[in-house]
Copies of this chain bind each other. A is one copy, B any other.
Amino acid sequence: MALKMNAAELTAFLLAEFPQVADEFDITDLSAARLEVALRVGDKHLRPGGTVSGPSMFALADVAAYLHILSLIGPKALAVTTNCGIDFMRKPSAGVDLLCKNEVVKLGRSLAVCQSLIYSTDQTQPVARANLTYSIPRDG
């Protein structure tokens, strides 16, 4: 499957549409088979006890899935998250970036389904596992 947006185009899109959060994320790899996005972990993502918050991991999985779908269908579509499941499996490291590896397992006309694993970049085992469903609007 051919990409309709490359990493630079996705980054520009993120900056234009989500300026509040765009600087937290870095696309580190992109193909039809896999998108990798890093979360630059800062103070606002941390929780007492030295770990990254659950909402930060949710946000990372959501951005990864969203950008991957956009890379396949192009920028005009406004996909909306309809369902998300996450298993929090290990404690993320506090001062270390997170990396989300996303896969699009279904790209239908009205629904897309993604799954991803999230890693602390200093650990070999994933800290979380996520699945997300997006509703894709029909063209008008």
What residues of chain A have their CB less than 8 Å away from a CB belonging to chain B?
17-18, 20, 44, 46-48, 53-56, 58-59, 62, 80-90, 105-106, 108, 110-111, 113, 115, 117, 125-126, 129, 131, 133, 135
Contact = CB atoms under 8 A, between A and B. Distances in A.
9 contacts: A84-B85, A84-B88, A85-B131, A89-B105, A89-B106, A89-B113, A105-B126, A115-B115, A131-B131
Contacts of A126: 105-106
Given A80-B88, A83-B86, A85-B85, A18 B48 contact: yes
Contacts of A59: 53-55
A117 B89 contact: no
A106 B55 CA distance: 21
A80 B108 CA distance: 14
